[in-house]
Amino acid sequence: MSRAEIHHDASDLFAAVKRSAEQIAAFLPEGAAPKIALVLGSGLGSYADALSDAKGIDYAELGFPRSGVVGHAGRLVYGRAAKSETSPGVEVLLMQGRVHTYEGHSLQTVVLPVRAMVMAGCKTVVLTNAAGGVGAGLEAGDLVLLRDHLNLMGDSPLRGPNDDRFGPRFPDMTEVYDAKLRAVAEQVAAKLSIRLKSGVYAGLLGPQYETPSEVRMLRGLGADLVGMSTVPEAIVARHMGAKVLGMSCVSNLAAGMSGQPLSHEEVTETANRVRATFIKLLDGIMAELVSLC
Ligand code: HPA
């Protein structure tokens, strides 16, 4: 089956996810039971260095698709986040990089790792990305908490026969990004004096960046951020009943807003610039999740 095709047999898909979940379980150290999955977007993968007792495995060994995009390492890392003298920290599974549907993968393939991590026990999924800023007042380098999304990819990772073992045929999407987790993130940001805005993320297919007219359209539709990921992962996590927290790093102002052409270098450069703040915030959130998850 070509990567871009979807499984038309729901039990085949379920079996593929189950296989990956079992491979994750086999990779975990004895007694480990991570309940939080973290997906790190473009240039943000270095949070893995902040984990204690870390252990990594190549995506290929887990049946995960590999990304060819610069800034996406392609390793799953297990470790303890926010470990300190007074806290054992919280166990996490962390994806350094993700694949995108614009690389030629079906959305089913794109979301396989998230489904596998949820099946392996991660009932909280933290999704991060680098995004273009569309909303008024956003600047490159801003960190933004997702409060909702617009699926403008023209496709759904749930297309095809539904396997009820994942979730219902028509899952509710009223609160994709968990209100309690958002409140925690906001409290942590306030405590650390980190400016954290909130916004609606529009997920587009890409890979070309938007035209200025498309950006105006997105603003009219209520988008604050635009990117090429996150939405499908959030959909399947909710489909499986996991809680989702989403966070964007504004890597650039969207097309037509700054007078400058966009480039992937700018995206990774901004991510590099805000990395330390981003890691501090993420670590603070993880410290709070020690008692919540
Ligand atoms: N548009 C779409 N995706 C992006 C952007 C953008 O401006 N920046 C980072 N990812």
With respect to residue 5, please indicate whether it lies within any of the assigned structural domains: no
229 assigned to active site: yes
| 72, pLDDT greater than 60 | no
pLDDT computed for residue 234 by the predictor: 98
Over residues 107-157, the pLDDT tens digits come to: 999 999 999 999 999 999 999 999 999 998 999 999 999 999 999 999 999
Asked if residue 2 is part of any domain, the answer here is no
- Residue 4 counted as domain residue: no
Half-sphere exposure of 31 (CA within 13 A, CB side): 0
pLDDT band at 227 (very low <50, low <70, confident <90, very high): very high
- Domain extent for 161: 10-289
Active site residue 102: yes
Q: How many A from CA of 257 to the centre of ligand 1?
A: 12
CA nearest ligand 1 atom 9, residue: 131
- From the candidates 16, 264, 269, 272, which is the catalytic residue? 264
As to burial, measured by CB atoms within 10 angstroms (0-12 exposed, 13-18 middle, 19+ buried), residue 26 is exposed
Is residue 3 included in any domain, yes or no? Answer: no
Report the CATH number that the domain containing residue 180 is assigned in CATH.
3.40.50.1580
Per-residue pLDDT, 265? 83
Beta-carbon contacts of residue 124 (< 8 Å; ≥ 6 apart): 35, 36, 37, 181, 242, 243, 244, 245, 289, 293
Total domains in the chain come to: 1
**Tens digits of residue pLDDT in 76-118:** 999 999 888 888 889 999 998 888 999 899 999 999 999 999 9
pLDDT at position 61 is 93
Selecting among 37, 120, 130, 185, the annotated active-site residue is 130
Q: What is the pLDDT of residue 69?
A: 64
- As a whole-number percent, the residues of the chain with pLDDT over 90 amount to 71
Distance from Cα 217 to the centre of ligand 1, integer Å:
15
Please indicate, yes or no, if residue 1 is contained in any of the structural domains: no
Report the pLDDT averaged over residues 253-266. Answer: 83
| Cα 44 to ligand 1 centroid, rounded to whole Å | 15
Which one of the listed residues 95, 185, 189, 228 is annotated catalytic? 228
Catalytic residue status for 72 = yes
The pLDDT of residue 29 is 95
Say how many C-beta atoms besides its own lie within 10 A of residue 267's C-beta: 25
Q: For residue 162, give both structure tokens.
A: 């539904």
* Ligand 1 atom closest to Cα of residue 254: 7
**Looking at the domain assignment, is residue 198 inside a domain?**
yes
By alpha-carbon position, which residue is closest to atom 6 of ligand 1?
132
209 is annotated as an active-site residue: no
Ligand 1 atom closest to Cα of residue 255: 7
Is 8 marked active-site?
no
Question: Whose CA is closest to 132, among 27, 263, 272?
Answer: 263
Work out whether strand 243-253 and strand 36-40 pair parallel, antiparallel, or are unpaired: unpaired
Q: 229 is written with which tokens?
A: 């990921």
For residue 156, is it within any domain?
Answer: yes
Ligand 1 pocket, 130 CB below 6 A? yes
DSSP string, 90-154: EEEEEEE----GGGT--HHHHTHHHHHHHHTT--EEEEEEEEEE-STT--TT-EEEEEEEEEESS
- 46 found inside a domain: yes
Mean pLDDT for the stretch of residues 160-184 = 96
For strands 243-253 and 124-133, give the pairing: parallel
Q: Which residue has the higher pLDDT, 34 or 46?
A: 34
For residue 267 and ligand 1, the question of a CB distance below 6 A is answered with yes
CA of 93 to the centre of ligand 1 (A): 26
Confidence (pLDDT) at 6: 77
Nearest residue to 95 (alpha-carbon basis) of 31, 39, 149: 39
Q: Is 42 annotated as catalytic?
A: yes
For ligand 1, atom 3: residue with the closest CA: 227
Instruction: Please say whether the beta carbons of 35 and 122 come within 8 A.
Output: yes
Task: Give the distance (Å) from ligand 1 centre to CA of residue 76.
Answer: 24
- How far is 276 from 178, CA to CA, in rounded Å? 25
